[in-house]
Amino acid sequence: MSGITQLARLLGQLEEQLITCMRCGFCQSVCPLYGETGREADVARGKLALLDGLAQELLKDPQAVQERLERCLLCGSCAANCPSGVKVLDIFLKARAILSGYLGLPPAKKLLFRQVLARPALFNKLLSQAPRFEKLVAKPVDSLLDTSCARFVSPLGQRHFKRLARVPLHRLEPPRSTQAGSSGLRVAFFAGCLIDKLYPGVGQAALRALEHHGVGVEMPAQEACCGIPALSAGDTTTFSKLLAHNLARLDPDKFDYMVTACATCASTISKMWPLMCGSLAPAGREKAQRLAAKTRDVSQFLLETGLVGGEPPQAAEGAIPLTYHDPCHLKKSLAVADQPRRLMAANPAWRLVEMNESDWCCGLGGSFSLEHYDLSQRIGRHKLEHITASGARAVATGCPACMLQISDLLSQAGQRVAVKHYLDIYAETL
């Protein structure tokens, strides 16, 4: 059997899902990338046609299809708005895995994922050394946004980036297992890499909120990455390792919910762990399913359990205008949009002003931004315009990855708008 035929067979397992696309093209209206390029290969319908073409052996160049498939933010706007309910992200992630399996991972990614990311102890150790050297190569550019840029030509290009936290969350807040308080509830807190290493303050705000509401917290030692970077690259080997590592440290019998303040972790755990856990033993698969079902964004958890509720206070006179960006992984993946707004409304010092198109993707898309920085910035510019047009003095969101992108956009534009997590706003009331 020729290689292409073999690949076509593998892609054949996606046929049942691929055929549900009726080619209506409605995804064009919501795809942030297509909005910039107007190229059919950039929108979901085009990519689904490419996968179908490869599966039918109409196309003979898997590399070309892979390149086009990877030009995607994985924001899920298409899936959330698809009239036929095509599970676009499920298809894309599975296809990326099949194509990477067939073509092999690029050496740099392989090294990074298999030798570093898949080994959480080493990953933490490497990064704990980094802040010491960071100031040699980076110089601060904006104190409000706490961003820096490269001193020399660097792989980070023109970015204004957030520097690594001097002390990561897992050192500020050591592993714990506290009993349920007044709420009678216990949760596992899944911090996620970005909150642990860049935004530990957000993790601390989450822990304060949980403690305030009398929620017992389970925080395992040495939690690993949720796995989305590896999945995006089609590296199921690393993903399975990370998943197994996390499953070994999380026992769903010991808590009522698993909560996270990272939209991307919440979405990956809820949607992708059950979908991509096929290589695990039955017990592992069952555990992944159970953890997924218990996973909530912090705001979702606090509202759903009634720990926060009732009429919010009136905004104080002179309250500071604040706007909110809906992370794709909260709104489109998990339909969480109202909950963060309700949490923030509990703080009368701020007044929420909605920006236009608050759910238009910020343009980061994880590794998309590393490989297509220019496109990522072009998409982000709409977000920047909407934020500044709202007149808000701060922009809040529910995803540390969005926070990175928005900080970069504002910092480069010289806009003095603070970037916050909705938990930063809520925690001020506690």
Partner 1 sequence: MSTDALHKEFCRIAGPENVFSDASDLLTYSYDAALLPSQPPGLAVRPTTLEALGQVVRLCNGQGTPLTVRGAGTNLSGGTIPSQGGVVVVTTALNRILEINQEDLYAVVEPGVINARLFAAAQKQGLFYPPDPGSQAVSTLGGNVAENSGGLRGLKYGVTRDYVMGMSFFDTEGQLIKTGSRTVKCATGYNLAGLMVGSEGTLGVFGQIILKLIPPPAASRALLAVFDRVEAASETVAAIIAARIVPATLEFMDNFTIRTVEEFSGAGLPTDAAALLLIEVDGHPAQVAEEAEKVQEICRAQGATLVRPAADAAEKERIWTARRAAIPALARLKPSVVLEDATVPRSKVPELVRFITDLARRHDLTIGTFGHAGDGNLHPTIVFDQRDADQKQRVHQAVEELFDKALELGGTLSGEHGLGLSKTRFLVKEVGPATIAWSRRLKRAMDPKGILNPGKIVGS
By the 8 A CB rule, do 200 and 168 touch? yes
Nearer to partner 1, 49 or 95 (CB): 49
Strand order in the sheet with 394-397: 350-352, 320-325, 394-397, 418-421
Place of tokens 């218990």: 294
Residue 157's alpha-carbon distances to 149, 160, 176, 291, 408, in angstroms, are 9, 9, 39, 39, 12
Cβ 92 to partner 1, closest distance in Å? 15
Binding-site ranges for partner 1 (CB under 8 A): 19-20, 22-26, 28-29, 38-41, 46, 49-50, 53, 58-61, 64-65, 68, 83-85
Nearer to partner 1, 68 or 208 (CB): 68
Cβ 103 to partner 1, closest distance in Å? 14
Nearer to partner 1, 34 or 350 (CB): 34
Cβ 49 to partner 1, closest distance in Å? 6
Nearer to partner 1, 76 or 340 (CB): 76
Cβ 147 to partner 1, closest distance in Å? 31
**Parallel, antiparallel or unpaired: strands 161-162 and 147-150:** antiparallel
Nearer to partner 1, 94 or 162 (CB): 94
Cβ 6 to partner 1, closest distance in Å? 19
Long-range contacts of 369-374 (CB under 8 A, 24+ apart): 369/405, 371/70, 372/71, 373/157, 373/158, 373/159
CA distance 67 to 72: 10
CA distance 188 to 292: 12
* Residues 392-424 as b or e (16 or more Cβ within 10 Å = b): bebbbbbbbbbbbbbbbbbbbbeeebbbbbbbb
Cβ 100 to partner 1, closest distance in Å? 17
Nearer to partner 1, 65 or 230 (CB): 65
